[in-house]
A and B are shown apart, each in its own frame.
Chain A
Amino acid sequence: MGASLPPKEANLFKLIVKSYETKQYKKGLKAADAILKKFPDHGETLSMKGLTLNCMDRKSEAYELVRQGLKNDLKSHVCWHVYGLLYRSDREYREAIKCYRNALKIDPDNIEILRDLSLLQAQMRDLTGFVETRQQLLTLKSNHRMNWIGFAVAHHLNSNASKAIEILEAYEGTLEDDYPPENERCEHGEMLLYKISLLEECGFFQKALEELQKKELKIVDKLAYKEQEVSLLVKLAHLEEGEKLYRKLLSMNPDNYRYYEGLQKCVGLYSENGHYSLDEIDQLDALYRTLGQQYKWSSAVKRIPLDFLQGDKFQEAANNYIRPLLTKGIPSLFSDLSSLYNQPGKADILEQIILEIESSIKTTSQYPGGMEKEPPSTLMWTLFLLAQHYDRRGQYEIALSKINEAIDHTPTVIDLYSVKSRILKHAGDLVAAAAFADEARCMDLADRYVNSECVKRMLQADQVALAEKTAVLFTKDGDQHNNLHDMQCMWYELAGAESYFRQGNLGMALKKFLSVEKHYADITEDQFDFHSYCLRKMTLHTYVEMLKFQDQLHSHAYFHKAAAGAIRCYIELHDSPPKLTTEEDNDLSKLLPSQKKKMRQKQRKAEARAKKEAEEKNEESSAGGISKSGKRHAKPVDPDPCGEKLLQVEDPLLEATKYLKLLQKNSPDSLETHFLSFELYMRKQRILLAFQAVKQLLRLDAEHPDSHRCLIKFFNKVGSMIAPVTDSEKLIWSVLEAERQTISQLHGKSLFETNNSFLEKHEDSLTHRAAFGETLYILDPNRRSEAVKLIEGSPNNIVPTNGVLGPIREWKLIDCVAVHKLLGTVLVDQDAALRWKVRCAELFPYSTYFEGSRSSASPNSAFNQIRKSSENGSSNHSVGDHNAESGTSNGKLEAFKDLTI
Chain B
Amino acid sequence: MEGSDEGVERVVDSKDLQQQSKAFDKLTDRVEDRQLDSSRVQEAMASIAASSEADWQAMRKREKELAAVKINAADVDIIANELELDKKVAERTLREHKGDAVAAIRHLLR
Q: Which residue of B lies closest to A110 (CB)?
A: B1
Q: A57-B8, A145-B35 are in contact. Are A85 and B1 (CB under 8 A)?
A: yes
Bitwise interface map of B from 87 to 110 toward A, beta carbon under 8 Å scored 1, else 0: 000000000000001100110010
Asked whether B15 is an interface residue with its Cβ less than 8 Å from the other chain, the reply is no
A360→B101 CA distance, assembly (Å) = 76
- Contact indicator A146/B33 (Cβ below 8 Å): yes
CB contacts (< 8 Å) of A166 on chain B: these are 47-48
- Contact indicator A536/B105 (Cβ below 8 Å): no
- Contact indicator B41/A112 (Cβ below 8 Å): no
A631→B10 CA distance, assembly (Å) = 10
- Interface residues on chain A, number (Cβ under 8 Å): 64
- Contact indicator A727/B78 (Cβ below 8 Å): yes
Asked whether A56 is an interface residue with its Cβ less than 8 Å from the other chain, the reply is yes
Which residues A131-188 have CB closer than 8 A to chain B? 139, 141-148, 166-167, 170-171, 173-176
Q: Which residue of A lies closest to B82 (CB)?
A: A688
A727→B48 CA distance, assembly (Å) = 55
Contact partner of A21 among B1, B13, B27, CB < 8 A? B1
Report the stretch among A284-292, A431-439, A730-738, A768-776 that lies at the interface: A730-738
CB contacts (< 8 Å) of A22 on chain B: these are 30
Which residues A723-744 have CB closer than 8 A to chain B? 727-728, 731-732, 734-735, 738-739
A739→B102 CA distance, assembly (Å) = 10
Contact partner of B102 among A631, A689, A692, A734, CB < 8 A? A734
CB contacts (< 8 Å) of B1 on chain A: these are 17, 20-21, 51, 81-82, 85, 112, 116
Q: Which residue of B lies closest to A24 (CB)?
A: B7
CB contacts (< 8 Å) of B106 on chain A: these are 735, 738-739
Asked whether B11 is an interface residue with its Cβ less than 8 Å from the other chain, the reply is yes
- Contact indicator B11/A116 (Cβ below 8 Å): no
Q: A167-B48, A170-B48, A173-B44 are in contact. Are A21 and B82 (CB under 8 A)?
A: no
Contact partner of A631 among B11, B31, B75, CB < 8 A? B11
CB contacts (< 8 Å) of B74 on chain A: these are 727
A825→B6 CA distance, assembly (Å) = 53
- Contact indicator A145/B36 (Cβ below 8 Å): yes
- Contact indicator A689/B33 (Cβ below 8 Å): no
A687→B13 CA distance, assembly (Å) = 58
Q: Which residue of A lies closest to B49 (CB)?
A: A166
Q: Which residue of B lies closest to A687 (CB)?
A: B82
- Contact indicator B13/A689 (Cβ below 8 Å): no
A119→B5 CA distance, assembly (Å) = 15
- Contact indicator B36/A170 (Cβ below 8 Å): no
CB contacts (< 8 Å) of B47 on chain A: these are 166, 170, 173
Bitwise interface map of B from 26 to 48 toward A, beta carbon under 8 Å scored 1, else 0: 01111101111110111111011
CB contacts (< 8 Å) of B83 on chain A: these are 686, 688-689
A174→B44 CA distance, assembly (Å) = 7
Q: Which residue of A lies closest to B4 (CB)?
A: A23
- Contact indicator B27/A171 (Cβ below 8 Å): no
- Contact indicator B27/A533 (Cβ below 8 Å): yes
A633→B42 CA distance, assembly (Å) = 54
Q: Which residue of A lies closest to B5 (CB)?
A: A89
Q: Which residue of A lies closest to B50 (CB)?
A: A135
CB contacts (< 8 Å) of B36 on chain A: these are 142-145, 148, 174-175
Asked whether A55 is an interface residue with its Cβ less than 8 Å from the other chain, the reply is yes
Contact partner of A628 among B13, B38, B75, B102, CB < 8 A? B13
Contact partner of A686 among B29, B38, B82, B105, CB < 8 A? B82
- Contact indicator B102/A55 (Cβ below 8 Å): no
CB contacts (< 8 Å) of A112 on chain B: these are 1-2
- Contact indicator B2/A55 (Cβ below 8 Å): no
A21→B32 CA distance, assembly (Å) = 12
Bitwise interface map of A from 602 to 631 toward B, beta carbon under 8 Å scored 1, else 0: 000000000000000000000001011101
Tell me, rounded to whole Å, the shortest Cβ–Cβ distance linking B25 to chain A: 8
Tell me, rounded to whole Å, the shortest Cβ–Cβ distance linking A83 to chain B: 12
Which residues A50-70 have CB closer than 8 A to chain B? 51, 54-57
Q: Which residue of A lies closest to B77 (CB)?
A: A728
Interface majority SS (helix, strand, loop, mixed), chain B: loop
Q: A143-B35, A627-B13 are in contact. Are A738 and B41 (CB under 8 A)?
A: no
CB contacts (< 8 Å) of B48 on chain A: these are 166-167, 170
- Contact indicator B34/A144 (Cβ below 8 Å): yes
Q: Which residue of B lies closest to A530 (CB)?
A: B27
CB contacts (< 8 Å) of A650 on chain B: these are none
- Contact indicator B40/A173 (Cβ below 8 Å): yes
Asked whether A846 is an interface residue with its Cβ less than 8 Å from the other chain, the reply is no
CB contacts (< 8 Å) of A631 on chain B: these are 11
Q: Which residue of A lies closest to B33 (CB)?
A: A144
Asked whether A561 is an interface residue with its Cβ less than 8 Å from the other chain, the reply is no
Contact partner of A142 among B5, B25, B28, B41, CB < 8 A? B41
A23→B45 CA distance, assembly (Å) = 35
A54→B6 CA distance, assembly (Å) = 10
CB contacts (< 8 Å) of B101 on chain A: these are 731
CB contacts (< 8 Å) of B12 on chain A: these are 627
Asked whether A529 is an interface residue with its Cβ less than 8 Å from the other chain, the reply is yes
Asked whether B65 is an interface residue with its Cβ less than 8 Å from the other chain, the reply is no
Q: Which residue of A lies closest to B79 (CB)?
A: A731
Q: A532-B2, A731-B75, A734-B102 are in contact. Are A689 and B82 (CB under 8 A)?
A: yes
Q: Which residue of B lies closest to A630 (CB)?
A: B11
Asked whether B16 is an interface residue with its Cβ less than 8 Å from the other chain, the reply is no
Tell me, rounded to whole Å, the shortest Cβ–Cβ distance linking A234 to chain B: 33
Asked whether A265 is an interface residue with its Cβ less than 8 Å from the other chain, the reply is no
Most buried by A among B3, B25, B83: B3
A628→B102 CA distance, assembly (Å) = 69
A691→B105 CA distance, assembly (Å) = 12
CB contacts (< 8 Å) of B30 on chain A: these are 21-22
CB contacts (< 8 Å) of A738 on chain B: these are 102, 106
Bitwise interface map of A from 528 to 544 toward B, beta carbon under 8 Å scored 1, else 0: 01101100100000000
- Contact indicator B31/A536 (Cβ below 8 Å): yes
Q: A174-B37, A688-B82, A688-B83 are in contact. Are A85 and B3 (CB under 8 A)?
A: yes
Tell me, rounded to whole Å, the shortest Cβ–Cβ distance linking B58 to chain A: 15
- Contact indicator A145/B78 (Cβ below 8 Å): no
Q: A21-B2, A112-B1, A731-B78 are in contact. Are A627 and B11 (CB under 8 A)?
A: yes
Asked whether B84 is an interface residue with its Cβ less than 8 Å from the other chain, the reply is yes
- Contact indicator B84/A686 (Cβ below 8 Å): yes
Tell me, rounded to whole Å, the shortest Cβ–Cβ distance linking A479 to chain B: 13
CB contacts (< 8 Å) of A98 on chain B: these are none
CB contacts (< 8 Å) of A23 on chain B: these are 3-4, 7, 25, 29
Which residues A824-871 have CB closer than 8 A to chain B? none
CB contacts (< 8 Å) of A144 on chain B: these are 33-36
- Contact indicator B34/A145 (Cβ below 8 Å): yes
18 other A-B residue contacts (CB within 8 Å) besides A20-B3, A55-B6, A738-B106: A23-B4, A51-B3, A55-B8, A139-B45, A143-B37, A145-B36, A173-B44, A174-B44, A175-B40, A627-B11, A627-B13, A629-B13, A692-B109, A727-B78, A731-B78, A734-B102, A735-B109, A739-B109
The 7 closest A-B pairs by CB, nearest first: A23-B7, A89-B5, A174-B40, A170-B44, A145-B34, A144-B33, A633-B11
- In the complex, 20 of the A-B residue pairs with CB atoms within 8 angstroms, ordered by the A residue number, are A23-B3, A23-B25, A25-B8, A55-B6, A142-B42, A143-B37, A143-B38, A170-B45, A171-B44, A173-B43, A174-B37, A174-B44, A529-B4, A529-B27, A532-B2, A629-B13, A687-B82, A691-B109, A732-B82, A735-B102
